[in-house]
Structure formats: structure tokens, C-alpha cells
């Protein structure tokens, strides 16, 4: 028998954390990714070299894919509250901030952020590996 969806607001935490805040943050993340992608495509050419434009495009691509993946996890969490997805979400949020954020800082601000970009990449990878563990532990056939 299929479990009935909850009638509480979509991102409400009800003891599991405040998913409403994450939902709004994801909406903003998607908007920022689109805006930066548009800027890279149409506004950066006169101000930046090709490497900087490429860096912004890579940051946008990773930010958008992980924003969409986080949205999927929010939906899964709503349907299956017992599944422990918070570690995956935390790794991906931190990974987006470190990986994409550092690429934007280098390309748009000229900041040398050193090892932040690869650290962000490792956080994103760790999130995917953690998701694999969560799926294995969920025990759904």
C-alpha cells in the first residue's frame, strides 16, 4: 500500500529541520546560476578573457545540476521522512558554495582562493557517495 503524502506545508521541518529555508535557498541558487550564466554568455566578453568566462560557465553548470539534485532530495525527504538525507544535502550545499563560489570569485573578482575549488569538488563527490550509502541503507526494493 502506498504511503499517503503529508498535508503539512511542502518544506516544513516538523522536527526534521527547516526545509522551507532550503527550498527558498534553492530557488535563489537557481536564479543566481541563470543570471551568472547569462552574464557569462552576454556580458563578460568585453571585460574578461576566455578562461574567466569558462570558469563562470563551469561554476554555473555545477551549481545548477546540484541545485536540481537538492530539489529532488527535498521531494524525496517529503515522501520518505525516515530516509536520512541531511548529510547529503549539507555536503552539496557546502560543495556548491566552495566549488562554484570559488570559481566565481576567481573569474569575477580576481581573487586567488587556492585550494577552495578542489575542496568544493571533493564535497560534491562526497555528497554523491553519501547518497549511494543512503540508498543502500534505505532498504527499498
Quick: pLDDT tens for 102-120: 999 999 999 999 899 999 9
Q: H helices then E strands: how many in the chain? A: 4, 0
∠ at Cα 26 (21, 112), nearest 5°? 110
Query: How far, in Å, CA of 101 to CA of 14, rounded?
Result: 31
The predicted structure's pLDDT at residue 17: 53
Q: Are the CB atoms for 55 and 48 separated by under 8 Å? A: no
Confidence at 12, pLDDT banded by 50, 70, 90: very low
Confidence at 8, pLDDT banded by 50, 70, 90: very low
The answer on pLDDT for 87 being more than 60 is yes
Tens digits of residue pLDDT in 22-48: 899 999 999 999 999 999 999 998 889
Q: Are the CB atoms for 57 and 37 separated by under 8 Å? A: yes
Percent of the residues in the chain that have a pLDDT greater than 70, as a whole number? 87
Confidence at 7, pLDDT banded by 50, 70, 90: very low
Amino acid at each position: 500500500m502506498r504511503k499517503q503524502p503529508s498535508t503539512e506545508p511542502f518544506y516544513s521541518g516538523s522536527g526534521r529541520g527547516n526545509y522551507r529555508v532550503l527550498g527558498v535557498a534553492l530557488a535563489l541558487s537557481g536564479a543566481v546560476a541563470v543570471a551568472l550564466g547569462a552574464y557569462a554568455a552576454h556580458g563578460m566578453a568585453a571585460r574578461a578573457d576566455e578562461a574567466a568566462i569558462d570558469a563562470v560557465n563551469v561554476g554555473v553548470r555545477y551549481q545548477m545540476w546540484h541545485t536540481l539534485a537538492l530539489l529532488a532530495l527535498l521531494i524525496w525527504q517529503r515522501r520518505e521522512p525516515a530516509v536520512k538525507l541531511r548529510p547529503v544535502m549539507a555536503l552539496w550545499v557546502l560543495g556548491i558554495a566552495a566549488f562554484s563560489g570559488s570559481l566565481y570569485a576567481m573569474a569575477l573578482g580576481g581573487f586567488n582562493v587556492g585550494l577552495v575549488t578542489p575542496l568544493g569538488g571533493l564535497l560534491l563527490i562526497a555528497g554523491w557517495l553519501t547518497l549511494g550509502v543512503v540508498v543502500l541503507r534505505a532498504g527499498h526494493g
